Amino acid sequence: MAQLSIHHRKCPHCGSNHFVKRGYFYKQHTKTYIPRYNCKSCNKTFSTRTLSPTFRQKRTDLNPQVFQYLTSGASIRATAKALGCTYKTAYLKFLWLSKRAQDIHQKQRFSFKELYFDEMLSIEHTKLKPLTVALAVSDNYEILGVQVGKIPAQGKIASISRRKYGYRPNESSVKTQDLLTEVKRQALIKRFTIKSDSKPEYHRIVKKIFSNLPYEQFISKENKDKRREQKYLKTEKHIFDPLFPINHICARSRDLTKRLVRRSWCTTKVPEHLERALYLLIAKNNKYRLFS
């Protein structure tokens, strides 16, 4: 009987350990020979790559590079141009990487003392179709979750948006509730402090999901007024920001995710793709091992 590695001692199709070697196949881009095997029980063939997450991928060497570019403020098209591959290859890598990052994140369990959450605004192709991005962050700067939803346009462009694109649902409360529900499932400890800004809807959502936990809301306008008064003074740097972890992660997200950059031609056309891009950022920020 042929022997595989310690992780591959059985046929992945039927579980039998009766198999023999059946040659090799050559991977051109990695310049390696991969051994093949034939199972005597089910008569199916397999290789040492069959159980790998990158099974059936030809350009596995591009995975770390695509991940690095997409989480460093580059678009998919710019990534493809820099790596010398086609746009389709970079796009398919983006879909695979984001799905793997999301699967790994959902299996994680977090331990923290303070939970911060807030929402960012983005757009779907045009300012007439805004999006909300709900984020949850721990006191040790780990990103605990993300949700992307649609919201209606506000202000002077609200009537233009309704006339041109019709009714848009307000998913802000629903996505925030889904986010906190997922954080509750992944939390290892049951006692922690929740902090957010003073949006009126937050109090109702938090008390519905975390009824017995301490909850603090902060008025961001007071902090902004202090900064405006001390804009050109050194004392501005000494103003305490009670929501610094979530504000820091939001600013970092806009810097490292091309789809969130303000006043850019590179806007997301599909809200689900924005959420996928943010899962890549979660994998980078939380230091997940996507390629092991």
The answer for 15, left when phi > 0, alpha when psi is -120 to 50, beta otherwise, is left
Q: Over 80: is that where the pLDDT of 43 sits? A: yes
To which residue do tokens 């820091």 refer?
248
Which pLDDT band holds residue 6 (cuts at 50, 70, 90)?
very low
Average pLDDT of every residue of the chain: 89
pLDDT in tens, 52-96: 888 888 888 999 999 999 999 999 999 999 999 999 999 999 999
Q: Which two tokens stand for residue 37?
A: 């095997």
Three-state DSSP class for 114? strand
Percentage of the chain beyond pLDDT 70 is 90
Q: Over 60: is that where the pLDDT of 11 sits? A: yes
Q: Over 50: is that where the pLDDT of 5 sits? A: no
> Buried b vs exposed e over 192-211: b needs ≥16 C-beta within 10 Å?
bebbbbeeeebeebbeeebe
Q: Over 90: is that where the pLDDT of 120 sits? A: yes
Question: Which sign does the torsion angle of CA 225, 230, 234, 235 carry?
Answer: negative
In single-letter form, the type of residue at position 85 comes to C
Nearest to 100 by CA among 70, 79, 130: 70
To which residue do tokens 């939001």 refer?
250
H-type alpha helices, the chain:
63-70, 76-83, 87-106, 158-165, 172-186, 200-209, 220-229, 244-256, 271-285
pLDDT in tens, 225-274: 555 655 556 555 566 789 999 999 999 999 999 999 887 788 899 999 99
Question: Which sign does the torsion angle of CA 197, 198, 200, 203 carry?
Answer: positive
Whether residue 183 contacts residue 106, with contact meaning beta carbons closer than 8 Å, is answered with no
pLDDT for 30 equals 77
pLDDT for 13 equals 86
Q: Can you tell me the distance from the alpha carbon of 128 to that of 153, in angstroms, rounded to the nearest whole number? A: 6
**What average pLDDT does range 21-38 have in this prediction?**
85
pLDDT for 51 equals 81
pLDDT for 233 equals 60
